[in-house]
Amino acid sequence: MKKIETIWHHLLWSVLEKKDYKYTQVYLARYFSYSLSTVNLAIRKLSEIGAVRVSGKFFVISDFKKILFYWATHRKLNKDIIYQTRIDLPVLEIEGLIPPQGIFAGFSAARQILNESPADYSKVFFYLNQKDIVLAQKRFPEAKNKAQNNIFILKSYPGQINYGKTATIPQTFVDIWSLSDWYAKDFVANLEEKIDGLLP
């Protein structure tokens, strides 16, 4: 993901998990070890659409859903795929083979977040550090027929594991939003309902 996306993610996660709405750009720059110009770009884009309100040294998140949908429409999930293959096993068995370093994503993450699956799904996504890709390749060898891939490994970013072994609600929402599978809309609808229940 782009650095500005990791900032948007953190802000959305903080609202849902910590009810934090107020930040300084200096804090975010130090938290991520990003330049102030990178943080400023991320916040400026949100300010331009009225999703955050800048006041002096601080800014306040004023429209959670605007940030969520803005990020969802800009998310390019396919660019983060670092490996894909096919294994002829049920999805639950595939999920059981995900390396310990992996972070459940996509439909697998949504099933855990929602405690159920809104629809049957046939693709498994998970985040993994680039350096651990060999571990995954041993468990999921390269398939001869690449037209029907059902396992997709996404490149994780530094510090992503700090949010947990399952992708967060906003991360899962925007990732599934960018997928074209017919059942994705059911997952998106249920995740949005979950989000609405967590917002004040």
Sign of CA dihedral 115, 116, 121, 122: positive
Tokens standing for residue 87: 């294994």
Give yes or no for a contact between 150 and 86, defined as CB atoms under 8 angstroms apart. Answer: yes
**pLDDT in the model for residue 186:** 98
At 167, is the pLDDT very low, low, confident or very high (cuts 50, 70, 90)?
A: very high
Half-sphere exposure (Cβ direction) of 8: Cα atoms closer than 13 Å: 29
For 8-29, how does the pLDDT look when each residue is reduced to its tens digit (9 = 90+)? 999 999 999 999 999 999 999 9
pLDDT tens-digit readout, 177-193: 999 999 999 999 999 99
Residue 147's pLDDT band, with cuts at 50, 70 and 90, is: confident
| pLDDT value, residue 134 | 93
Put the strands of the sheet holding 81-85 in their side by side order. 81-85, 151-155, 124-128, 103-105
Domain ranges of the chain: 3-74, 77-198
Structure-token match 């998106």, residue found: 188
What number does CATH give the domain 3-74?
1.10.10.10
How does pLDDT run across 92-121, given as a tens digit for each residue? Answer: 999 999 999 999 999 999 999 999 999 999
In degrees and rounded to multiples of 5, residue 124 shows phi and psi of: -115, 125
Tell me how far apart the alpha carbons of residues 91 and 15 are, in angstroms, rounded to a whole number.
32
Q: How far apart are CA 87 and CA 70, in angstroms?
A: 34
pLDDT at 150 over 90: yes
Which of 82, 79, 86, 80 is CA-nearest to residue 132? 82
Predicted pLDDT of residue 79: 96
Helices and strands in the chain, H and E counts: 9, 7
For residues 31 and 188, what is the distance between their CA atoms, to the nearest angstrom? Answer: 30
